[in-house]
Structure 1
Amino acid sequence: MNKLKISPEARNDLVEVKNYISQELYNSEAAVNLIAKITKKIRSLVDYPEIGTPLSATIDIQTDYRYLVCDNYLIFYRYEDGVVYVVRVLYGRRNFIRVLFSNLLEEEK
C-alpha cells in the first residue's frame, strides 16, 4: 500500500483556504465542505497515485509533479517509490508556476 505525506506548505494552504472562505466570504459550511472534498481527493491518491495529470504535459518545464483538480483548486503532488507527497494546494487562477518553481525562475534571471 502506498503512503501519503503532506508538506507543511500544503497543510498551510488548506488552512488558508478554509479561513478565506469562512471568514472573508462568511460561509463556514462551504469552507468545511470544500476542505472535506479536497481531503477526499488527496486520500484517493493512496489507491490511485497516477490518477493526476502530469504537470509537464501542461507547461514547458520538466518536472515529476502531477496535479488533480478539485473545484477551483489544484492539488500538486509527486509520486515516487510508493510515497505520494502532496506539495501544495493552490487556487486555480493563482500563478502556480511562480509558486512551485520560484527557485528556478530566480536562477534564470
Structure 2
Amino acid sequence: MKYKVSLSPEAVSDLIEIKRYISEELENLASAERTIATIMSRLRQLEEFPYSGASLSSKIAVDTGYRYLVCGKYLAFYIVGKNDVVVDRVLYGARDYLRTLFGELTE
C-alpha cells in the first residue's frame, strides 16, 4: 500500500527558507538545490515506508505521535495516518527542534 505524503504549510515554508538561506546567505545555489532534492527524495520514501523514521518518543518521555526522518543535516517531523503521512516541519538538525515544535516544555 502506498501512503499519500503531504506537506503542511509550515513544512513548505521551512523548505522555502532552507533554500533561501543556503542560496542567498551562504551564496551556494547548487548546494541549496541539492539539499532540497535530498530532502524531497527522503520524503518520497515515506510513501512506501512510513514507519522508517524513528518515533520522537525515543528522544523525549512524551508520546507526541511524531516520527522523524533524517534528511542529511535536516530532520523531517511527520505523523502517520491510516492512509497518509503529513510532514509537519523540516528543521535543521542542530537547531533546538523540540522548542520549535512544542514551545517551552515545562517539567
Q: How does the TM-score come out when normalised to structure 2?
A: 0.93
Cα distance in 1 between the residues matched to 2:62 and 2:90:
19
State the match for 1:24 in structure 2. Answer: 25
Q: Number of aligned residue pairs: give it.
A: 106
Cα distance in 1 between the residues matched to 2:26 and 2:101:
26
User: Alpha-carbon deviation of 1:72?
Assistant: 1.1
> Which residues in structure 2 correspond to 1:62-81 (within 5 Å)?
62-81=63-82
- 3-state DSSP class of the match of 1:31? helix
State the match for 2:91 in structure 1. Answer: 90
Cα deviation digits, residues 40-63 of structure 1 (max 9, x gap): 001110110000000001112221
Percent of aligned positions that are identical:
46
Cα distance in 1 between the residues matched to 2:22 and 2:76:
18
Runs of 4+ aligned structure 1 residues displaced above 6 Å come to none
What's the RMSD between the two structures over aligned residues? 1.4
- 2:5 maps to amino acid: L
Cα distance in 2 between the residues matched to 1:71 and 1:41:
9
- 2:70 maps to amino acid: V
- 1:29 maps to amino acid: A
- 3-state DSSP class of the match of 1:18? helix
Uncovered stretches (5+) of structure 1, i.e. residues with no partner: none
